[in-house]
Amino acid sequence: MKILIVASNMVHIKNFHPPYISAFRDAGHEVSVMASGEGADFDIPFKKRAFSFKNLRLSFLIKKIIKREGFDAIFLHTTLAAFWTRFALKGLKNRPVVINTVHGYLFSEHSSFIKRKLYLMAERIVRKKTDYIAVMNEDDLKIARDNKLALNEPFLINGMGVDLSRTEDSERHEFDGKLRLVYVGEISKRKNQIFLVKSLLKLDNAILTLVGDGDERKNLEAFASKNGISDRLVITGFTKNVKSHLENADIYVSASTIEGLPFNIMEAMSAKMPIVASNIKGQKDLLPKDCLYTLNDEEQFISLVRKTALGKREYDLEKYKLDRVLCENVRIYLDKIQ
């Protein structure tokens, strides 16, 4: 069969999909990639604004490619690319089987009424072009079921699989009187690092390291400078050397507002770190209740950080490991399209 894998950009493809592409090809199928960036078989420059007129124009190009190539199946990833690819299928006869893998709906009970309505409206527009939906947490499964966002029953997968070699066998540093907090991920409003930075005003002995970069970095640095805490905020920029930052921290923290099944939390679990995270979808699917605080509740967050025991903590990650999940997902996807 001819399979098309679609995502918004090649960064996502390179992070998650090489093992899947190899597995599908090893099973005898022809695999192509559609995304924005170097390395894509079909380079589609998706615009970040979901309802951009440029994306509408790109949908005509997507439709032309799909019609010309005669794909048997399309595996969709990332919200933006998934919507516009399904939109492009409207009016196309004998279309491919479509599986939309939801890495996390970009709305939840914490989102504004308008945001929820807009995203649900978009999903409803293309649900008749969605044969199956794979989701990664219980909240998203309920959203997909309750709103009938696919032609068939949605199903739950254990993420895309995690290679934990980057963080396994991590060592904890000796506590030196300074409480060292760490978070790994894109610096953005959705990841909500501003909440973590503000907490430093009440955690006098804490140092926060943000491993990553993003659009909100300047705002965080400006806030820290204005409030005299720049010496307790470290922003590393993008780095692949995650393990050393985890080893040099006491507690892994997250204030994220929306997740699917967060890779960064699983890495922290693999490193056996104490974790304090917002009680949101994805994170609550992975973590024990005593690791979770109510989203944006500063008092509860600070209290939990202060009482969290330092040292190593054990978690069960067996069902999320790459080898196991890869075999399960490949089998499920191929069963759905045959």
Q: What is the pLDDT of residues 29-42, one digit of tens each?
A: 999 999 999 999 99
Q: Could you give the angle at which helices 18-26 and 322-337 cross, rounded to 10 degrees?
A: 50
Is the CB of residue 197 less than 8 Å from the CB of residue 209?
no
pLDDT at 120: 93
- Mean pLDDT value across the chain: 94
pLDDT in tens, 283-328: 999 999 999 999 999 999 999 999 999 999 999 999 999 999 999 9
Band of pLDDT at residue 211, cut at 50, 70 and 90: very high
Residue 18: pLDDT above 80? Answer: yes
Band of pLDDT at residue 50, cut at 50, 70 and 90: low
CB atoms under 10 Å from CB of 123, counted, come to: 25
pLDDT at 172: 79
Residue 153: pLDDT above 70? Answer: yes
User: Residues near 150 by Cβ (< 8 Å), separated by ≥ 6?
Assistant: 100, 127, 130, 131, 132, 133, 144
Q: Regarding predicted confidence, which is higher, 110 or 57?
A: 57
- CA neighbor of 135 nearest in space, from 324, 250, 307, 281: 281
pLDDT at 49: 73
Write phi, then psi, for 162 (nearest 5 degrees).
Answer: -120, 125
Residue range 259-266: average pLDDT?
Answer: 95
User: Residues near 257 by Cβ (< 8 Å), separated by ≥ 6?
Assistant: 108, 110, 111, 189, 190, 191, 192, 278, 280, 295
